[in-house]
Each structure stands twice: as C-alpha cells, then as structure tokens.
Chain A
Amino acid sequence: MGEASVREPDGAGAEPGVRAGDGAVIATRALTKRYRGGQLAVDGLHLTVPEGSVFGFLGPNGSGKTTTIRMLMGLIEPTSGTAHVLGRPMPRSARAVLPHVGALIEGPALYGFLSGRDNLLRYDSADPTADPRTRRVRVAAALDRVGLTAAAGKKAKAYSLGMKQRLGLAAALLQPRRLLVLDEPTNGLDPQGMREIRTLVRALASDGITVFLSSHLLDEIEQVCTHAAVMAQGRLITQGPVADLAAGARGRLAVTTPDPADAARVLKEQGVADVVVAGDRVTGEAPERDLAEVNAALVTAGVRVRGFGVERASLEDAFVALTGEGFDVAG
C-alpha cells in the first residue's frame, strides 16, 4: 500500500511530506479516540501546526494530550477522524513519515543494562532509513548535542532522571528531522538543564525544524513557543499564535499608590471597569482611551502615584479565562 512512494523516486526536491500550498506540519480533522472502556480521550480535535513554528500543546493531566501525540505517531489508531503529519495520513504512512520525526513520548524509556551509547545505537538501528555506516558518528553527535558525551559509556540504569531525559532527546536527534515531538521535555531537569533544553529547542527551531512541545509549564510555553493550543477534557479549547492567545485576555491597568481609595474613585470616573483594591494596589480593566490622560486625572485629583502601567496578560490568565479553572486541575 503506497510503499513505492516511500522511497523518494528522484532528487527533484520533491519532499514526501508537505504538499504545495499546505503549510501545516500536523493537521488533524475531527480526530477522535474512544478507548475500549468507553472513555472519550480525544473528542473531535481540529489541530493545525504551521511549518516552522514552535508549537506549545497545553492542558492539564488527563486532557488527552498524550493520546493525541500517540495517534500522531501511529501508536494508536483513531476511532474516527484523520491525522496528517508532514502532509501524509497517519498511521498509514508511518514508515514514510516517522524517519523525519524525532519524538520523546511520555518520558524516556531505556534499556537499563545497556550503556547510553548502546541505547542510541539500538534505536538508530530500528530505523530502516538510518545509514549504518554513519551510525556511530551520528550517535556521538547526538550525545554531544545533549551534553552526555562523558557519561556515554555508563549503564543507563545508573543515569539520573535528567540524564535519561537528555538521552531520550538525543534519540530524537539521531537524524536530521523536520518535526520534533517533545512530550514534557524538561521533566526531571534542574533549572540549569531546563534552560539548556530551551536553548536547544530555540536552536533547533532556528534551523527550520518544527517543534511540537507539550508542557504543563505555562511560562515555559510562553518563553519558547510561537504558537500554542489548549486542551481540556479531550477537546481543543483554542489554538493560535501565543501573542494572540495572551492578548485574548485583556491586560489590566495597575496603579500603586498610598491613596488607594481616592485612586479607585478617580479610576471609576475615568471609565475603568472592574476596579479592585488590594493594599496599596488598585487594578482594573484597561480602558480604550489614552492611559496618559488617566494618569493625568489621578495626579490632578491629588492622588500620589508610585507606579502606573498595564500588566500584560499572561498565558495563565488566558488559560483561566478560557477554561474557567486553574491550570493544575486534573480533568
């Protein structure tokens, strides 16, 4: 079934994946998975991951993120709907698509009795498109890229969780990839390790690799991602550029003053809605008009102002606004 097209027939630059005019690296249509127990894990998902993006995939535990990733990787058959990765249907085209995809799914899994290097050699030999003549060189390069060269000869069972995570990442980087799917890549890493992973992700993205990154850390998504999607209870709540998502929740005007009561009165007069006083801080929804005038009005009214500005809405605000609940609530 379509095996002939697995081997690229010519070098005419015809990539197997992206069709002309189709910029989506991942595209799902009404993707649904109902497990045998009747549990609806993913419900009618329409997900579009643009090429070249760093795509954050957000959602509390049990929201269907991992099931979605497993369907994209051909590990789970969808109940209904379609999933296209690199322009080809999954899981049918797994053999053509997956060599171009590096994946870290639900944490690393290693052969404890093999060294880190031998683990990578095994995973690489599982890929029928991987050239055995360059295997050792590529493994060494991948180990170097995640900073594990010194520990490459140690048995994997002696690795710390952070080292295992790095080795899992190295496995995803054994070949030049077009898409990286990273499920919670900074899990178990110390802050230094997290920074390194973020740097690595940015470097990969600047090479033109699309990165699909699931995380429960909102600030991580904000720091690294260009686009994001939010899932809750198997449904996609929203997706789009991170800046748009954050802008969806309007920023709040915050005034720091020793005269909060007067400030609150003036702000209301100036048309600021939802004014909240907390200690010496007064906040409210930023009005449409020029904020300089609002500030001038405060000063004219004799309110002493220590600080004045709009706090940009965070992704967390956006998330709470979208789901009406905190992020850590398990679905």
Chain B
Amino acid sequence: MSRAEAVRRASPLWTLGLFRSELLTTFRRWRTLALLGVLAAVPVLVGIAVRIETGDGSSAGGGGGGGPAFISQITNNGLFLVFTALAATLPFFLPMAVGVVAGDALAGEANAGTLRYLLVAPAGRTRLLFTKYAAVLVFCLVATLVVAVSALATGALLFPLGDLTTISGTRIGFSEGLVRALLIALVVAASLVGVAALGLFVSTLTSSGIAAMATTVGLLITVQIVGQIPQLHAVHPYLFSHYWLSFADLMREPVHWDDLTKNLGLQALYAAVFGSAAWARFTSKDITA
C-alpha cells in the first residue's frame, strides 16, 4: 500500500543535518569570509607595526606604557603576538563580527524569505533557534582561532620564539606557552557567548538583517562606552564586556581564576537570559516575511 510506504521512520541523528547545513551555509557566505579575513589581517598589521617600530632596537609601546596588553613583549617572543592580537580584537573586532553573524542569523533568513521555507520543511522553531545559536558559537570559536593562528604565524615569521616569562615573572617553556595560548583563545571565544545570545535575540525581533546587525553592533558600542564611564561603575559588573580582559590572568603563575570564572558565569547568564527571550519571541512570532 503506497500510503504505508509513505510513513517515514526518522532517526534522531537526522536532526543534526540542519546543523551541518547551517555551518556550510554560514561559512560559504562571502560576508563571513570577509569578516574572517579582516580578523586575520589584524595580527599581521600589529606584527608588522611592532617590527617596524622596533627596527632600531627600541622596545614597542614606548617602553610598555600604552597599547594592548603584552605588546612590549612581542619582540622577545613572537608567541606574545597571539595574546596581543586577542587583546586588541576582543574589545571590538571580534564581538562586532559575532554581532553581524548573530544579528543576521534569523532576521537575514526572514529578509530573504527563506525562513518560511525552513519552517514549513519543517525545521521546527526551537530546533532552528538552537541550530542557529550553535552555528554562531562555532563562528565565535573559528573567529578567535583565526586571530590566534594568524598571530602565531605572523609572530613566528617576524620574531624569535622560545621560553616566555609570565606576568608573575616565572618562566615557562614554549610548549607550555602554546597550551596557554590555546586556553586563552578558548576563553576569548567563550567571552563572546553573551554577545552571540544578545545578537540572536535582536535577530528574532525584526525581519531586516541589516537592522538586526546594526542594532547588535550599536548595543556593543553602547556597552563599551558605558564601561568607560567611571560614574556608572555600579552597573559595570553586569556588562558582558566587564571581565573580557581577564583572560590575561591565564598568563599568571599560578593562574588567577577569580575573574575568569566570573567572566564565564556572566556569559552563561547572558546566554540564559537572552536565549530564553529569543526562544519566547521566536516560538510565538507570526512569520509574515
């Protein structure tokens, strides 16, 4: 009976097909590649600038005064370019890239009309939202690793590599330093979890990808400005960017975990709050686009 044949037995694993498709779609977008290209260029620029600046034997950053963290150490050890590049991109470039991808996640699909076809496929609203968030988190990790790998390659090319001195003054081996660098990259990626959730929530509010991206990036700038105003120190601990630069504590010996755990806790809180808000909004929304 043809009717009986039409009954399909679905495997729970098939549901992951959407995640795979989502990753492919995200990373085949020209915009995603352009963002990653810009992120890869930052360490190269920093590396070349430090190299030119210190060509006469002076140390970078005017003796360690200004500039991003660790910049004065780069000439001694190229591995420090990884830390410098992450410290330079974390306040703005990385979260902006994440904001663009997260803001566009659902609003872009609504804008193109593809959202209605995904939903009648049927992707399922909760499943689609989780898939989108998972893909944005993968983008957070990939973006951070792109910065780190580009910085490591540039550092290895332009500067010597070797044992390094931690902030506490102790010396650790190069391989130990590489492990710390990877850990720092993971912490930086995890620092973007909150922005990603915020962007996804904004993305559920509108059917215009551009509006969602602009709003998310605008919120990011606002938070960064508020974080700079001393009179508003009461709200500072609740800003998702407040503990971002705590990743430097991984370069202490022993590691200071206080701010690191506070950062991860705050990111988890943002993910929970804005993730729930996005879910509440997206699962009850009329899809008219």
Q: Does any Cβ of B come within 8 Å of A76's Cβ?
A: yes
Q: Does any Cβ of A come within 8 Å of B287's Cβ?
A: yes
Q: Determine if B8 and A129 form an interchain contact, defined as CB atoms under 8 angstroms apart.
A: yes
- The one of B18, B21, B122 in contact with A99, judged by C-beta atoms closer than 8 angstroms, is B122
Q: Determine if B17 and A125 form an interchain contact, defined as CB atoms under 8 angstroms apart.
A: yes
Chain A, range 103-132, C-beta contacts under 8 Å to B: 103, 105-107, 109-114, 121-132
0/1 interface trace, chain B 6-44, chain A, CB 8 Å (1 if under): 111111001101101100110011100000000000000
Q: How large is the interface on A (under 10, 10 to 19, 20 to 34, 35 or more residues)?
A: 35 or more
Q: Determine if B14 and A131 form an interchain contact, defined as CB atoms under 8 angstroms apart.
A: yes
Q: Determine if B30 and A113 form an interchain contact, defined as CB atoms under 8 angstroms apart.
A: yes
Q: Determine if A126 and B123 form an interchain contact, defined as CB atoms under 8 angstroms apart.
A: yes
Q: How close is A234's CB to chain B, nearest CB, in angstroms?
A: 15
Q: Determine if A109 and B116 form an interchain contact, defined as CB atoms under 8 angstroms apart.
A: yes
Q: Which residues of B contact A95 (CB under 8 A)?
A: 122, 124
Q: Determine if B17 and A13 form an interchain contact, defined as CB atoms under 8 angstroms apart.
A: no
Q: Determine if B6 and A176 form an interchain contact, defined as CB atoms under 8 angstroms apart.
A: yes
Chain B, range 235-269, C-beta contacts under 8 Å to A: none
Q: Does any Cβ of B come within 8 Å of A198's Cβ?
A: no
Residue of A nearest to B29 (CB): A113
Known: A75-B119, A76-B288, A171-B117. A111 touches B25 (CB 8 A): yes
Q: Does any Cβ of B come within 8 Å of A289's Cβ?
A: no
Q: Does any Cβ of A come within 8 Å of B1's Cβ?
A: yes
Q: How close is B129's CB to chain A, nearest CB, in angstroms?
A: 13
Q: Which residues of A contact B287 (CB under 8 A)?
A: 70, 75-76
- The one of B3, B4, B15, B284 in contact with A128, judged by C-beta atoms closer than 8 angstroms, is B15
Q: How close is B100's CB to chain A, nearest CB, in angstroms?
A: 16
Q: Determine if B114 and A109 form an interchain contact, defined as CB atoms under 8 angstroms apart.
A: yes
Q: Does any Cβ of A come within 8 Å of B280's Cβ?
A: no
Q: Does any Cβ of B come within 8 Å of A307's Cβ?
A: no
Known: A110-B114, A128-B10. A15 touches B120 (CB 8 A): no
Cα A129 to Cα B288 with chains together (Å): 25
0/1 interface trace, chain A 1-31, chain B, CB 8 Å (1 if under): 0000001100101011000000000000000
Known: A15-B7, A126-B21. A105 touches B120 (CB 8 A): yes
Q: Determine if A7 and B9 form an interchain contact, defined as CB atoms under 8 angstroms apart.
A: yes
Q: Does any Cβ of B come within 8 Å of A73's Cβ?
A: yes
Q: How close is B5's CB to chain A, nearest CB, in angstroms?
A: 8
Q: Determine if B9 and A8 form an interchain contact, defined as CB atoms under 8 angstroms apart.
A: yes
Cα A114 to Cα B26 with chains together (Å): 11
Known: A100-B6, A121-B21, A131-B8. A109 touches B117 (CB 8 A): yes
Q: Which residues of A contact B7 (CB under 8 A)?
A: 8, 11, 15-16
Q: Does any Cβ of B come within 8 Å of A77's Cβ?
A: yes
- Offer 7 A-B interface pairs, CB within 8 angstroms, sorted by A: A74-B122, A109-B113, A110-B114, A111-B112, A114-B28, A128-B15, A128-B17
Given contacts A76-B287, A98-B122, A123-B117, 9 further A-B contacts (CB under 8 A): A73-B120, A75-B288, A101-B120, A105-B117, A111-B114, A121-B21, A123-B118, A128-B14, A132-B14
